[in-house]
Amino acid sequence: MRNLFTLTCKQVSESASDYIEQPNIKHLGSFSASALYRKLVFRCHLFMCINCRRYIKQLKLTIAAIQIQTFEIIQPATPDEDRKIDALVKKLITRDL
Protein backbone atom coordinates (compact mmCIF):
# COMPACT_ATOMS: atom_id res chain seq x y z
CA MET A 1 0.00 0.00 0.00
CA ARG A 2 1.34 3.39 -0.99
CA ASN A 3 1.85 5.96 1.75
CA LEU A 4 -0.53 8.89 1.27
CA PHE A 5 2.07 11.33 2.59
CA THR A 6 4.78 10.67 0.05
CA LEU A 7 5.52 11.76 -3.48
CA THR A 8 8.17 10.48 -5.82
CA CYS A 9 10.81 12.84 -7.19
CA LYS A 10 9.18 12.45 -10.61
CA GLN A 11 5.83 13.60 -9.23
CA VAL A 12 7.51 16.59 -7.59
CA SER A 13 9.25 17.60 -10.82
CA GLU A 14 5.97 17.28 -12.75
CA SER A 15 4.11 19.61 -10.39
CA ALA A 16 6.96 21.98 -9.49
CA SER A 17 5.77 24.92 -11.59
CA ASP A 18 2.27 24.65 -10.11
CA TYR A 19 3.80 24.71 -6.63
CA ILE A 20 5.88 27.81 -7.43
CA GLU A 21 3.05 29.68 -9.14
CA GLN A 22 0.34 29.11 -6.53
CA PRO A 23 -0.08 31.96 -4.06
CA ASN A 24 0.76 31.49 -0.42
CA ILE A 25 -2.18 30.66 1.82
CA LYS A 26 -2.74 33.76 3.94
CA HIS A 27 -6.24 33.42 5.33
CA LEU A 28 -8.68 30.57 5.83
CA GLY A 29 -11.16 31.59 3.15
CA SER A 30 -8.68 31.32 0.29
CA PHE A 31 -7.94 27.58 0.08
CA SER A 32 -9.53 24.20 -0.19
CA ALA A 33 -8.64 21.28 2.02
CA SER A 34 -7.30 19.29 -0.93
CA ALA A 35 -5.03 22.18 -2.02
CA LEU A 36 -3.68 22.47 1.51
CA TYR A 37 -3.10 18.71 1.65
CA ARG A 38 -1.23 18.70 -1.69
CA LYS A 39 0.96 21.58 -0.56
CA LEU A 40 1.71 19.83 2.74
CA VAL A 41 2.68 16.56 1.03
CA PHE A 42 4.81 18.46 -1.49
CA ARG A 43 6.63 20.39 1.24
CA CYS A 44 7.19 17.18 3.24
CA HIS A 45 8.94 15.68 0.22
CA LEU A 46 11.08 18.81 -0.16
CA PHE A 47 12.00 18.59 3.51
CA MET A 48 13.33 15.06 2.98
CA CYS A 49 14.86 15.37 -0.50
CA ILE A 50 17.86 17.63 -1.14
CA ASN A 51 17.75 16.97 -4.89
CA CYS A 52 14.18 18.19 -5.22
CA ARG A 53 14.98 21.26 -3.10
CA ARG A 54 17.81 22.02 -5.50
CA TYR A 55 15.50 21.48 -8.47
CA ILE A 56 12.89 23.92 -7.08
CA LYS A 57 15.57 26.52 -6.35
CA GLN A 58 16.96 26.18 -9.88
CA LEU A 59 13.47 26.48 -11.36
CA LYS A 60 12.83 29.67 -9.34
CA LEU A 61 16.13 31.15 -10.59
CA THR A 62 15.26 30.23 -14.17
CA ILE A 63 11.85 31.90 -13.89
CA ALA A 64 13.45 35.03 -12.39
CA ALA A 65 16.07 35.15 -15.15
CA ILE A 66 13.41 34.87 -17.85
CA GLN A 67 11.36 37.63 -16.23
CA ILE A 68 14.43 39.90 -16.07
CA GLN A 69 15.36 39.12 -19.67
CA THR A 70 11.80 39.81 -20.85
CA PHE A 71 11.80 43.12 -19.02
CA GLU A 72 15.11 44.15 -20.63
CA ILE A 73 13.84 43.28 -24.12
CA ILE A 74 10.78 45.47 -23.63
CA GLN A 75 12.71 48.39 -22.16
CA PRO A 76 16.47 48.66 -21.55
CA ALA A 77 17.33 49.01 -17.88
CA THR A 78 18.80 52.19 -16.42
CA PRO A 79 21.84 51.92 -14.12
CA ASP A 80 19.55 52.28 -11.09
CA GLU A 81 17.31 49.49 -12.37
CA ASP A 82 20.39 47.33 -13.03
CA ARG A 83 21.33 47.64 -9.35
CA LYS A 84 17.78 46.72 -8.31
CA ILE A 85 17.80 43.68 -10.61
CA ASP A 86 21.18 42.56 -9.26
CA ALA A 87 19.85 42.90 -5.70
CA LEU A 88 16.76 40.86 -6.62
CA VAL A 89 18.87 38.09 -8.16
CA LYS A 90 21.09 37.96 -5.05
CA LYS A 91 17.98 37.81 -2.86
CA LEU A 92 16.52 34.96 -4.93
CA ILE A 93 19.77 33.02 -4.77
CA THR A 94 19.94 33.23 -0.97
CA ARG A 95 16.20 32.83 -0.38
CA ASP A 96 14.97 29.68 1.33
CA LEU A 97 12.15 27.57 0.01
Q: Give the integer Cα–Cα distance in Å for 28 and 24.
A: 11
Q: Residue 27: what pLDDT? A: 43
Q: Residue 4: what pLDDT? A: 57
Sign, CA torsion 41/42/43/47: positive
- Which parts of the chain register pLDDT below 50? 1, 26-29, 97
Q: Give the integer Cα–Cα distance in Å for 46 and 91.
A: 20
pTM score, two decimals?
0.60
Say if residues 19 and 39 touch (Cβ distance below 8 Å): yes
* Nearest residue to 34 via CA among 42, 26, 45: 42
